[in-house]
Amino acid sequence: MFSPLIRLGLLASFWLKYKSNIIKTLFAVLALAIVHYVYQDVVELFSLNQQQNNLMYALIAKWLVILIIIVVYVFSLKSTARNNQPLNVKKTAKATTNKVANSTTSSKQTQQDSESVDPFEQLRHKDKLRSRSDLMLEKKRSQK
């Protein structure tokens, strides 16, 4: 009963996350199929007209087109991956570029920027880090 709902939910989540990649992949496969069928027609045409010397040029053209399709596909996937960085990575990159651009700003503003980027900055400068269990053990020891 829940199996179709789970399947549909997973399919919908994959579609929402990878929609552009799926569409680009389908277009690349479609383009490769078209190139293959056009090449078969050209080979058949050259065979019927006894133009065997042109088959080499057709083969070279086919592989050049296939390589171009693959290169365009890979670069489009890389640009999509670059644009889909996690939000915290974009904020960190933006903060570092802002720090470099505003090197003449006051130290307070720089400190506020670093605190907004890294919420654990105050913990890094502590001499001793203690957990709740450490605090409870110290409390029990002091009670004895």
- Shared domain for 77 and 17, answered yes or no, is yes
**Could you read off the pLDDT of 67-94 as tens digits, one per residue?**
999 999 999 988 877 777 665 555 555 5
pLDDT computed for residue 126 by the predictor: 80
Q: What residue numbers bound the domain in which 15 lies?
A: 3-84
- Shared domain for 60 and 103, answered yes or no, is no
- Shared domain for 25 and 72, answered yes or no, is yes
- Shared domain for 8 and 79, answered yes or no, is yes
**Could you read off the pLDDT of 105-127 as tens digits, one per residue?**
555 555 555 556 777 777 778 87
Total residues found in the chain within this entry: 144
- Shared domain for 109 and 123, answered yes or no, is yes
Half-sphere exposure of 18 (CA within 13 A, CB side): 10
Distance (Å, whole) CA 89 – CA 51: 58
In this prediction the pTM is: 0.54
Whether residue 104 is predicted with pLDDT greater than 50 in this model: the reply is: no
